[in-house]
């Protein structure tokens, strides 16, 4: 029985492939074609390098934009929180909050740098804010954002 298994195993093995010797063909292109190919390769490498530079620049701009957004939001967070809290009690403060909150949000998102309001609204806002015990630095910064 062992002999039978050995015969079947030998029949299943295929003979080795022929050994071939291959040789690369010589480059028979003209000198002009070779120079064109080299120029194309250099151009592609240059494009890839410029794309990488542009990508790094875009990433840097996005990072700086996000950092500035976060810095501005952090600066006004407590101020807006205080106004919102007081606005639940006082109707005038609520009105002021509803006016300046979108202005501050637009400033924090860097959509605007300044906002021009009429003199009456400007004075009403800062007269009321002067009476509130909150971050005075935020109020001073807000005076730079909201102008009359």
pLDDT at 9: 61
pLDDT at 135: 79
pLDDT at 71: 92
pLDDT at 58: 97
**Does this model's pTM top 0.75?**
no
List of residues 6+ apart from 145 with CB closer than 8 A = 103, 104, 107, 112, 113, 114, 115
pLDDT at 7: 55
> Helix or strand or coil: residue 116?
strand
pLDDT at 37: 92
Q: What is the largest CA-CA distance in the chain?
A: 111
Boundaries of every domain in the chain:
40-147
- Containing 92, the helix (H) or strand (E) segment is helix 91-108
Q: What does each of the 148 residues of the chain score in pLDDT, given as a tens digit?
A: 555 555 556 677 888 888 888 877 888 888 898 899 999 999 999 999 999 999 999 999 999 999 999 999 998 898 889 888 888 888 888 998 898 999 999 988 889 888 888 889 888 888 888 888 887 888 888 888 888 7
């Amino acid at each position: 029985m062992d002999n039978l298994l050995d015969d079947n195993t030998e029949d299943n093995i295929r003979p080795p492939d022929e050994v071939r010797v291959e040789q690369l063909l010589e480059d028979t292109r003209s000198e002009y074609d070779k120079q064109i190919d080299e120029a194309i390769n250099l151009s592609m490498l240059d494009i890839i390098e410029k794309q990488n530079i542009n990508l790094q620049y875009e990433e840097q701009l996005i990072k700086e934009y996000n950092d500035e957004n976060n810095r501005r939001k952090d600066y006004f967070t407590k101020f807006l929180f205080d106004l919102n809290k007081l606005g639940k009690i006082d109707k005038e403060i609520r009105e002021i909050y509803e006016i300046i909150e979108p202005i501050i949000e637009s400033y924090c998102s860097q959509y605007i740098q300044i906002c021009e309001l009429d003199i009456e609204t400007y004075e009403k806002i800062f007269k009321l804010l002067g009476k509130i015990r909150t971050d005075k630095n935020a109020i001073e910064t807000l005076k730079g954002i909201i102008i009359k």
